[in-house]
Structure 1
Amino acid sequence: MRAVVINCTLKPSPEPSNTDALAEVVAGELRGRGVTVETYRAVDENILPGVETDMGQGDGWPRVHRSLLGAEILIVATPTWVGHPSSLAQRVIERMDAMLSETDDDERPVAYNRVAGVVVTGNEDGAHHVISEIAGALGDIGYTIPGQAWTYWHLGPGAGPDYLDSEQGREWSHKTGRAMASNLYAVAKALAARPIPAPPQ
């Protein structure tokens, strides 16, 4: 089984990323279950604006898209900025919009029988809003969102230290992240055994 993590931090590599650090808790739990995990930092990939799978010369999205089609599990990880997902998370969702019109050999949308979850970090509140926005969009695209397929860390209300600067709340975030990984894995296995059929015509 394979998983893809798309980290939508605004920080280019190799700058330390709070979002990457929490997403790695989930990824580590998946690896412990035998899942191969591939991680992309969206800011490094030159993902061009648009709603097509390939926007032409220099577009970094097609490589990520190929990985999505080879994975049963997707994790979108994003910081919270003024109560919303990062601009890069929105761009990733916009590019995934093209998957609505792509089908597999059985005429199913290509996101069918794949599961997805969300990781959120930020030293401000709004995590549940961000989770709802991203999970709702991924569900529209065709992903299955298991129960409790998310984890987050924040210090709200108000600004404060970052995830990497503080131990506060980490135990809860990590425990929730491990549960997230377990649920994603369990539902991915269930869908592999009993796939969702193509939509009725």
Structure 2
Amino acid sequence: MNDNTPNSSQLTALFINTTLTRSPGMSHTQVLIDASASIMTKQGVTVNEFRAVDLPIATGIYPDMREHNWDQDAWPELFELVRAADILVLAGPIWLGDNSSEMKKIIERLYAHSSELNDRGQSLFYGKVGGCLITGNEDGIKHCASNVLYSLQHIGYAIPPQADAGWIGEAGPGPSYGDTLDDGTAVGVSNDFTQRNTTFMTWNLLNLAGLITGAGGFPADGNDRNQWAAGARFDYPNPEYRS
């Protein structure tokens, strides 16, 4: 480890598994989550996780859908884990070349908080770091990852270099990441490309989160919504227009 490597021991990470399989059913996405989470745990990071499909998370774009004709909504309580996490990793499978319906729902629920601000007048998610893990046996890792990572950065998350990893195995009904070989090991464990990318993604998340938290947060220069509302323009040109 280099002398300038940020300290990860005070960081908190949250993994949200958007598999369509309820517990205790097998989730291949969970096997890849476990690989990334184990690296973080070894670095002293506090890791939390939940499987979205197990919980009554309502569909919608408001922070609490119980205020919009839903009888149940677990999201307001779960969002406290999101709020507390320095690192958020959204993980899920590919279906029909796209992210799962559970992944879409989680992104929509995150977006519901995009108007909330931190104590610097920035988006609530400024200063937090995001990444994603994608699994399946059909093409689409890059498409799914680009959608997740764009969505996270759009609402304020910082995205480090190579912030995604995944496994697609053979195209079609071939082996999935957590399927076992004759010796009992998972199929994906023997794949160097997936293991390398998962490891690099995990460390990139740790490094960027460590840098940001070590600096006291993401700089508030030019992105304070309260100041903008008060009339500040942060050097934005204000030409005089003629009628």
Q: TM-score, normalised by structure 2?
A: 0.79
The one-letter code of the counterpart of 1:80 is: I
Structure 1 gaps of 5+ residues are none
Q: Is the 8 A contact 1:125 1:155 kept in 2?
A: no
Asked if 1:96 is matched to 2:106, the reply is no
The one-letter code of the counterpart of 1:162 is: S
* Pairing partner for 2:32 from 22, 32, 46: 22
* Pairing partner for 2:195 from 154, 174, 183: 174
Larger Rg: 2
CA distance in 2, matches of 1:47, 1:129: 25
Which structure 2 residues correspond to residues 26-175 of structure 1 after superposition, within 5 A?
26-56=36-66, 57-165=71-179, 167=187, 170-175=191-196
CA distance in 2, matches of 1:20, 1:64: 18
The one-letter code of the counterpart of 1:184 is: L
**Post-superposition shift, 1:9?**
0.1
Report SS of the residue matched to 1:165: coil
Report SS of the residue matched to 2:65: coil
CA distance in 2, matches of 1:64, 1:131: 23
Report SS of the residue matched to 2:127: coil
Structure 2 gaps of 5+ residues are 1-10, 181-186, 229-243
CA distance in 1, matches of 2:148, 2:201: 15
Q: Is the 8 A contact 1:123 1:158 kept in 2?
A: yes
Report SS of the residue matched to 1:128: helix
CA distance in 2, matches of 1:101, 1:30: 30
Q: Is the 8 A contact 1:80 1:120 kept in 2?
A: yes
Divergent runs of 4+, >6 A: none
Q: CA RMSD in A?
A: 1.3
CA distance in 2, matches of 1:157, 1:39: 29
Of the two structures, which has the highest relative contact order with CA contacts closer than 8 Å and spacing of 6 or more? Answer: 1
**Post-superposition shift, 1:32?**
0.9
User: Percent identical across equivalent pairs?
Assistant: 36
Please identify which structure carries the higher helix content. Answer: 1
The one-letter code of the counterpart of 1:39 is: E
**Post-superposition shift, 1:124?**
0.7
Report SS of the residue matched to 2:172: coil
Q: 2:7 — aligned with what?
A: none
* Pairing partner for 1:196 from 218, 221, 235: 218
The one-letter code of the counterpart of 2:101 is: S
